[in-house]
Amino acid sequence: MAHRRAERVGDTIKEEVAQMLIMGEVKDPRVGLVTVTKVKMSPDMKYAVVFFSMTASSEEIRETAEGLKSAAPYIRRALAKRLSLRHVPSVDFKYDDSLDYAMRIEEALKKIKETG
């Protein structure tokens, strides 16, 4: 039961953070066009890891991660106002490289198909 609640809260946090980023509420110029891919909650729901994805160079990704990290306290306060939770989790941001990984696999399969 607790696992399902953490999953639901994570989905809600994902939607709210994505909305904040789309609406430009985060004023840090380092934060560009970002897609929130998933949120992983700790079992006690005190910590939320927000995974983001973007199409950019590794330098731009690093800068965006720094901008999101510096905006994390603001985002947590905004979540506290928007969500009816007793304890709002601490928010951490991590780059989701699964899209890059999938693209590398697709390229490898394409090369195999061309040579085979």
Written in H, E and C, the secondary structure of 29-82 is: CCCCCCEEEEEEECCCCCEEEEEEECCCCHHHHHHHHHHHHHHHHHHHHHHHHH
Q: What residues form DSSP beta bridges with 53?
A: 35
d(CA 61, CA 58): 5
Residue type, 4: R
Residue holding tokens 């609406």?
23
Domain 2-115 sits in which CATH superfamily?
A: K homology (KH) domain (3.30.300.20)
Predicted confidence at residue 62, as pLDDT, reads 93
Each domain of the chain, given as residue ranges in start order, spans 2-115
Is there a contact between 35 and 52 (Cβ–Cβ < 8 Å)? yes
Predicted confidence at residue 13, as pLDDT, reads 96
DSSP one-letter code for 83: S
d(CA 95, CA 72): 14
The reported pTM is: 0.84
Predicted confidence at residue 114, as pLDDT, reads 87
* Residues of the chain predicted below pLDDT 70: 1-2, 116
DSSP one-letter code for 85: -
